[in-house]
Amino acid sequence: MEQKGFFQTKAGGLTIAFIVIMIAFAMIMAGLYTGTSVLCTIGFVLIVVAMLYSPVKVYILDRRNKMEHHG
Amino acid sequence: MNIPINVFMWVMAFLPIAVLLVLMIKFQWGATEAAPIGMLITIITGIFLYKADLTLIAAESAKGIWNALIILLIVWTAILMYQVGDEAKAFLVIRNGMRKLLPNELLLVLAMGWIFESFLQGITGFGVPVAVGAPLLIGIGVQPMWAVIIPLFGQAWGNTFGTLGAAWDSLAMSAGLAAGSAEYISTAAWTALFIWLWNIIGGVAVCWFYGKGKAVKKGLLAVIIMAVIQGGGELLLVYVNTTISCFVPATISLVAILLLGRSKLYREEWSIEDSPIMNRKFTEQSSDEAPKDMTLVQAFVPYFLLSIITLVVLVVEPVNSFLGQFKIGFAFPETSTGYGYVNAASECFSPLAIFTHASMFLFVSSIIGLIFYKKHGWIKAGGVKRVFVKSISMTMPSGIAVIGLVIMSKIMDGTGQTVVLANGIAAVLGIVYVVFAPFVGLLGTFMTGSNMSSNILFGGFQLTTAKLLGVNSSIILGAQSAGGAIGSAVSPSKIILGTTTANILGSEGKVLKKIMSITIPATILIGIIVFVLV
């Protein structure tokens, strides 16, 4: 069986999501310090996207893949 | 503040919590998947109903990430500590050694799942007892799900006065209780009294889980003795010093249970073979893998170090004040919603005192423990790398869930949803509200994962409501903090710590369902007692 690389596993995906959240945190802080609301907005959107990775993967993508395999 | 407090606004504020509960309990979603959905609903209600702008939401999200990072540092270092012990097979030595000291299996479960967690809660807290306790229980043959549930019960009583009284201090601060005043002492005493009740319930519950009525009968004396030492000791000590009122009795109970293991009633080998919480297959399979030359004391080295370092840093004043001066924190500007709900500016929001933080104690203890085990040859070649790789793989899923939950609570708080929730309850229920006072505390801890945060969030509200209703505020505040302590057993962010180290991540819903069957009736009981008393 083919061995999955770390970043292809769920833990790997969540690690990337975590890194994205940290980058978003830095962007929001920079936005708050400089009064740049665009930075805050982009940072916030990144947080939402990274947070939704797990439910989307588990309950939409994985389920769709499973259905395709069975179909 | 002009937020309209009506049924619709209240229901919408409660919606994220309700969705979180339904997804986790009814649909068995893991917290990593459920928390982002709760967070998303909070954002939508915050923007469209509570008139928050994106800058406010972004600022509250950033505060949430920062607070979550402070919690996660503890999770990550607690997992590192677990991986160090696991790699050296120290848990097998602990299991075998404790089994010899405590041949009665029920007493062993009580010691490893309740008493040791109480000791850890007394000094560290922040979920460490759950993260550390779950693998220890698995090591003595408890099934993973129960190995998470039992420490959650075991640590809960110590949440208000544990961590050297951090949550109690926050209650006193938010309710404006001057240290040493009659109101301060009276509130501390009521809090300790309610917590004592929960302490007894927790001990009996562990016996019940182990073997229903037969185990309760066998373990009742031990539970009574331990509860008198812990809950009774705490009640006495709050009159002397609230900082050590949990730690001292928790430590005494640790010694007492080992002595109890030598008593006539508990010194013989005793177990319930078909106990629903024990994994007999695991115990038999792995008993020979323990390193032969490792003693029980050597297996406990990282935990002894943790206790010593924590005590020295937190209790020795010159050490504490020197190390406590190194703080990291961020400034946040003032934000407000369209309803005029203001979040005050902060020059240094929630500063992290890096050298006096529990994560530092865990990290240092883990690294010294790693060196100690390696020096004795209990960690083989490649073991050090394995410890760190496994730690990182194990931490990320819980990290995302904790971040989601804390962001959710921060946005709820920052947009005024929490205030609407609390005010709505008080306005509708009137004097009957006092029955629900402990539930408010429980809800606060459920949302934030911390008895301390619950007390900060709702301490002032509970005091105001008590005064509005003309009832004894000490009793209401006691119920708030006791409910907050009980809430630490059902808090998803604490449950995740256990499911992570027990390697059953995703089972949070099942764990929550089991725990709620005890915590809800216990909270109702305290609520009824409060109603009768006021």
Ranges of H-type helices in B261-382: 280-286, 296-299, 301-315, 317-323, 358-375
User: For chain B, what is the radius of gyration of the CA atoms?
Assistant: 22
List, as one string, the DSSP characters of B497-530.
HHHHHTT-TT-HHHHHHHHHHHHHHHHHHHHHHH
> Which of A11, A31, A40 is facing B396, going by the closest CB pair?
A11
Mutation for A interface: B55, B60, B69, B72, most A CBs within 10 A? B55
What 3-state class would DSSP assign to B127?
A: coil
The alpha-carbon gap from A69 to the nearest alpha carbon of chain B, in Å, equals 23
B163 vs B27, higher pLDDT: B27
Dist CA B310 CA B328 (whole Å): 20
From B86, B143, B138, B136, select the one nearest B116 (Cα to Cα): B136
* CA B144 – CA B150 distance, rounded (Å): 10
- Say what percent of chain B tops pLDDT 70: 98
Count of Cβ atoms closer than 10 Å to residue B471 Cβ? 19
Contact B216, B206 (CB under 8 A): no
Mutate to test the interface with B, among A4, A32, A34 (most CBs of B within 10 A): A32
Burial of residue B367 (CB within 10 Å: 0-12, 13-18, 19+) is middle
By the 8 A CB rule, do A46 and A23 touch?
Answer: yes
- Residue A11, classed as helix, strand or coil, is helix
* Residues found in chain A: 71
Nearest chain B alpha carbon to A54:
B33
Give B435→chain A minimum CA distance, Å: 37
Q: What's the rounded Cα separation, in Å, for the pair B290 and B283? A: 12
> Which uninterrupted H or E stretch holds B353?
strand B346-353
Q: Taking CB atoms and an 8 Å limit, are B403 and A14 in contact across chains?
A: no
Joined together, the tokens standing for residue B330 give 């961020």
DSSP class per residue in B198-217: HHHHHHHHHHHHHHHHHHHH
Partner-chain residue, chosen from B32, B43, B59, that has the shortest CB–CB distance to A32: B59
Q: Which chain A residues contact residue B55 at CB under 8 A?
A: 31-32, 37, 40
pLDDT for res A2: 52
Kindly report which listed range (B70-74, B400-404, B520-524) carries the lowest average pLDDT score. B70-74
Per-residue tokens: B47: 């923007």
Closest residue in A to B404 (Cα) is A51
* Cross-chain residue pair A44–B37, CB shorter than 8 Å: no
Q: Mean pLDDT, chain B, as a whole number?
A: 89
Nearest of B328, B403, B447 to residue B75 by alpha carbon: B403
pLDDT band at B236, cuts 50/70/90? very high
In this complex, the residue of B59, B331, B396 whose CB is nearest that of residue A14 is B396
Do the Cβ atoms of B352 and B370 come closer than 8 Å? Answer: no
Q: Provide the pLDDT confidence category of residue A50 given band limits of 50, 70 and 90.
A: very high
Q: Which residue has the higher pLDDT, A43 or B353?
A: A43
The 3-state DSSP class for residue B330 equals strand
Res. B50 pLDDT band, cuts 50 70 90: very high
**What value does the CA radius of gyration of chain A take, rounded to a whole number of Å?**
16
Rounded Cα distance between B139 and B90, Å, is 9
pLDDT, position A1: 46
Q: Tell me which of B128 and B57 has the higher pLDDT.
A: B57
Quick one: average pLDDT of B285-312? 82
Q: Indicate yes or no: CB of A25 within 8 angstroms of CB of B66.
A: yes
Contacts 24+ apart (CB under 8 A), B258-267: B258/B101, B258/B102, B258/B111, B260/B107, B260/B222, B260/B225, B261/B101, B261/B102, B261/B103, B261/B104, B261/B107, B261/B111, B265/B221, B266/B102, B266/B103, B266/B104, B266/B107, B266/B222, B267/B103, B267/B104
Question: Does position B60 have pLDDT exceeding 50, yes or no?
Answer: yes
- Between A and B, how many CB-CB pairs are < 8 A? 86
Contacts of B36 in chain A (CB under 8 A): 51-52, 54-55
The region of weakest confidence among A52-56, B155-159, B278-282, B485-489 is: B278-282
Of A39-48, B69-78, B126-135, B384-393, least confident by mean pLDDT is B69-78
Tell me, yes or no, if A41 comes closer than 8 A to chain B by beta carbon.
yes
Mean pLDDT across B507-513 = 92
Mutate to test the interface with A, among B27, B76, B394, B400 (most CBs of A within 10 A): B400
Task: Record the pTM.
Answer: 0.78
Using the Cβ of A49 and the Cβ atoms of chain B, whether some distance falls under 8 Å is answered with: no
Q: What value does the mean pLDDT take over residues B206-228?
A: 97
Rounded to whole angstroms, how far apart are CA atoms B404 and A22? 13
- Residue that is written with structure tokens 């998303």 in the block: B40
Query: Region B132-160: what's the mean pLDDT?
Result: 93
Choose the most confident range, by mean pLDDT, from B218-222, B319-323, B420-424: B218-222
Compute the nearest-CA separation of A71 from chain B (Å). Answer: 25
φ/ψ of residue B175, rounded to 5: -100, 0
Query: Cβ distance B67 to B348 under 8 Å?
Result: no
Residue A18: which of B29, B54, B396 has the nearest Cβ?
B396
d(CA B337, CA B53): 7
pLDDT at B17: 84
pLDDT value of residue B132: 81
CB atoms within 10 A of CB B228: 17
Token pair of B243 as six digits: 């900082």
Of A11, A40, A53, the CB nearest to B393: A11
Distance (Å, whole) CA B479 – CA B487 = 12
pLDDT score for A3: 60
Which whole number is the average pLDDT over B526-531? 97
pLDDT at B64 over 70: yes
- Whether residue B287 is predicted with pLDDT greater than 60 in this model: the reply is no
pLDDT band at B288 (very low <50, low <70, confident <90, very high): low
**ipTM of the predicted assembly exceeds 0.90:** yes
CA–CA distance, B152 with B510 (Å, rounded to integer): 14
Does residue B244 register a pLDDT over 90? no
Strand pairing category for B346-353 and B327-332:
antiparallel
Residue B6 has pLDDT above 80, yes or no: yes
